[in-house]
């Protein structure tokens, strides 16, 4: 855990409780549920909307708005430098950011498998608190359900988010045009490999940390400066960069060329991918985004990105072209070409 995260954890010690694990009763809606929520949950997320403790939040929305939802079912729930709670906030915040929106409100729902320790739940709650503070969003409504042991996998979290569209944003697949440049904001595959390194049966020693982070401040800064020159934003989470690019090629009916030599990847992550037989292009990310921008501004855009924390390794990895419509073609480090396809299912390691 980095120092800042450790400090946060220490600044929110777990309250003294008369229970140390979560049981079915904590999801009943009755006394135990109230005891769980009063134990500090409301205190952690305190804001004027939540404090009313009504069935839902009363919001006053005006103008173009983005609305998104995401569920988080990751295993293991704790992984190098982060946990499912932080992921659940950043994931939805980032989906809003990719719409060109400024995230404002989140809902937060838990499905907990009975037996989860209160200590683990508290660590998740604290991670949610700080992730939402960093992203500048308020948690305005929520829900807690508990399911029998064996009917869940420790904890599932759903977050739904609402954000106001940035006044200068005009993000749409129809705006992608021939000549546009494709920029990734930082190193690929870091999150997926960090998770793999702690997954049961696969543990290997490494200091690779998940890259989970909010991207909304990056996006706001870039939209302030470059406005509608930004044609499309996407975060390559599940399925990785390859999947996102094949979707863009398919939906825009244009061709995409990318260049292996320009794709940023940390050496340790690249090594782990080699060892595990995985293609980093398909590995999940949680803290990077892909921008498709007008080629005239691409160099300035890259410089700006590289000046921001968390995107120092940004790189122009390719461009939109008029050939091979609907397909992504990768030029390998040695100059050979191949088509990049969508994966049929999960990426499975090869035998040898």
Partner 1 sequence: MKFLTEYRDADLVKLLLDKIEKTVTQPWAIMEVCGGQTHSLVKNGLLNLLPENVQMIHGPGCPVCVTPLNLIDKAIHLAQKSNVILCSFGDMLRVPGSKKSLLQVKAEGADIRILYSPLEAVELAIKNPDKEVIFFAVGFETTAPANALSVLLAYEKEVNNFSILTSHVLVPPAMEAVMNDPDSNIKAFLAAGHVCTIMGIEEYYPLVEKHKIPIVVTGFEPVDLLQGILMCIQQLEKGEYRLENQYSRVVKSEGNLRAKNAIEKVFKIEDREWRGIGNIQQSGFELRDKYHAHDANLKFDIKIDKVIECKDCIAGLILKGIKKPHQCSQFGSNCTPEKPLGAPMVSSEGACAAYYHFHQANNQLTSIS
Cβ contact 103:161 at 8 Å: yes
**Residue placing its CB nearer to partner 1 in the complex, 63 or 335:** 335
Q: How far is the CB of 53 from partner 1 (least distance, A)?
A: 41
Q: How far is the CB of 204 from partner 1 (least distance, A)?
A: 9
Chosen residue from 12, 276, 297, 308 binding partner 1 by CB under 8 A: 276
**Residue placing its CB nearer to partner 1 in the complex, 59 or 275:** 275
3-class DSSP state of 94: helix
Q: Is 91 left (phi over 0), alpha (psi -120 to 50) or beta?
A: alpha
Q: How many CB atoms lie within 10 A of CB 182?
A: 28
Chosen residue from 51, 172, 274, 299 binding partner 1 by CB under 8 A: 274
From start to end of the chain, where are the E strands?
Answer: 65-72, 78-79, 82-83, 101-113, 138-147, 155-165, 181-184, 230-234, 255-259, 290-293, 315-321, 328-331, 337-340
From CA 60, how far away is CA 74, in angstroms rounded? 33
Any contact of residue 178 with partner 1 (CB under 8 A)? no
Stretch in the footprint of partner 1 (CB under 8 A) among 65-73, 79-87, 149-157, 331-339: 331-339
Any contact of residue 73 with partner 1 (CB under 8 A)? no
Chosen residue from 277, 303, 307, 322 binding partner 1 by CB under 8 A: 277
Q: For the chain, how big is the Rg over CA atoms in Å?
A: 21
79: cis peptide before it, omega within 30°?
no
Cβ contact 59:132 at 8 Å: no
Q: How far is the CB of 252 from partner 1 (least distance, A)?
A: 16
Q: How far is the CB of 258 from partner 1 (least distance, A)?
A: 12
Chosen residue from 175, 225, 238, 324 binding partner 1 by CB under 8 A: 324
**Which is nearest to 189 in space by CA: 91, 324, 65, 284?**
284
Q: Is 70 left (phi over 0), alpha (psi -120 to 50) or beta?
A: beta
Any contact of residue 333 with partner 1 (CB under 8 A)? yes
Query: Which residues have CB under 8 Å from 30's CB, separation 6+?
Result: none
Any contact of residue 10 with partner 1 (CB under 8 A)? no
Q: How far is the CB of 150 from partner 1 (least distance, A)?
A: 12
Stretch in the footprint of partner 1 (CB under 8 A) among 25-33, 238-246, 298-306, 340-348: 340-348
Q: How far is the CB of 182 from partner 1 (least distance, A)?
A: 19
Any contact of residue 48 with partner 1 (CB under 8 A)? no
Q: How many CB atoms lie within 10 A of CB 203?
A: 10
**Residue placing its CB nearer to partner 1 in the complex, 182 or 265:** 265
Q: How far is the CB of 208 from partner 1 (least distance, A)?
A: 15
**Residue placing its CB nearer to partner 1 in the complex, 102 or 269:** 269
x/- contact string, 202-241, with partner 1 (CB under 8 A)?
A: x---------------------------------------
From CA 136, how far away is CA 12, in angstroms rounded? 19
Stretch in the footprint of partner 1 (CB under 8 A) among 31-39, 51-59, 183-191, 266-274: 266-274
Q: How far is the CB of 280 from partner 1 (least distance, A)?
A: 12
Q: Which secondary-structure segment (H or E) carries 213?
A: none
Chosen residue from 1, 21, 59, 348 binding partner 1 by CB under 8 A: 348
CA–centroid distance for 272 within its chain: 21
Applying the rule CB under 8 A, the residues between 180 and 209 that interact with partner 1 are 201-202
3-class DSSP state of 101: strand
Residues that bind partner 1 (CB under 8 A): 201-202, 267, 270-271, 274, 276-277, 279, 323-324, 327, 329-339, 341, 344-345, 348-352
């Amino acid at each position: 855990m980095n120092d800042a995260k450790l400090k946060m954890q220490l600044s929110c010690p777990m309250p003294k409780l008369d229970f140390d694990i979560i049981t079915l009763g904590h999801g009943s809606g009755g006394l135990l549920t109230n005891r769980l929520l009063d134990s500090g949950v409301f205190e952690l997320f305190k804001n004027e909307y939540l404090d009313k403790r009504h069935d839902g939040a009363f919001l006053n929305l005006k103008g173009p708005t983005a609305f998104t939802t995401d569920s988080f079912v990751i295993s293991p729930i704790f992984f190098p430098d982060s946990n499912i709670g932080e992921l659940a906030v950043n994931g939805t915040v980032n989906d809003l950011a990719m719409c060109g929106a400024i995230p404002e409100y989140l809902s937060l729902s838990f499905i907990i498998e009975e037996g989860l320790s209160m200590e683990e739940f508290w660590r998740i709650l604290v991670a949610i608190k700080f992730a939402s503070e960093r992203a500048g969003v308020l948690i305005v409504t929520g829900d807690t359900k508990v399911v029998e042991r064996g009917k869940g996998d420790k904890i599932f979290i759903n977050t739904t988010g609402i954000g106001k569209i940035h006044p200068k944003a005009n993000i749409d697949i129809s705006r992608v045009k021939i000549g546009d440049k494709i920029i990734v904001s930082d190193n690929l595959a870091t999150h997926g490999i960090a998770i793999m390194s702690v997954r049961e049966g696969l543990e290997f020693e490494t200091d690779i940390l998940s890259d989970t982070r909010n991207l909304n401040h990056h996006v706001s800064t870039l939209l302030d400066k470059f406005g509608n020159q930004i044609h499309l934003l996407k975060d390559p989470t599940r399925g990785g960069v390859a999947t996102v690019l094949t979707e863009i090629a398919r939906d825009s009916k244009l061709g995409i060329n990318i260049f292996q030599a320009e794709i940023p990847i940390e050496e340790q992550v690249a090594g782990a991918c080699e060892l595990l037989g995985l293609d980093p292009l398909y590995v999940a990310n949680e803290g990077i985004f892909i921008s498709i921008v007008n080629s005239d501004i691409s160099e300035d855009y890259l410089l700006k990105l590289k000046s921001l924390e968390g995107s120092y390794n940004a790189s122009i990895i390719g461009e939109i072209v008029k050939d091979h419509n609907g397909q992504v073609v990768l030029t390998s480090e040695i100059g050979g070409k191949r088509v990049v396809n969508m994966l049929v299912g999960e990426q499975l390691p090869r035998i040898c």
